[in-house]
Amino acid sequence: MGMGVGVVAAVLWRVGVRPSWGVGGVLVGAVAMASSDVPLAGLGVSDPRTWSAADWLADAVPHLVFGLVTFGAVAAWEGRV
């Protein structure tokens, strides 16, 4: 999923959707998180409604880091960071 999210971010950047690094990074991270958590819940593997705050933090932090790094790489590719 992560690579697909990165490709979509790169395509959107290429067509002119260019938010700031912070906003873009958070959005990419949120999309990556949703793209993993929604199927997880839909397939009945886990139920995010039962997760503790620590569980959510353990899920959100890596996705946020992924989003910031991925968006930063996309923006840096064209030298705009």
C-alpha 12/C-alpha 40 separation (Å) is: 26
pLDDT by residue for the chain (81 residues), tens digit each?
779 999 999 999 999 999 999 999 999 999 999 999 999 999 999 999 999 999 999 999 999 999 999 999 999 987 665
C-alpha 28/C-alpha 63 separation (Å) is: 8
Sign of CA dihedral 81, 61, 40, 50: negative
Residue 31 has which token pair?
A: 């999309």
Q: What is the pLDDT of residue 77?
A: 86
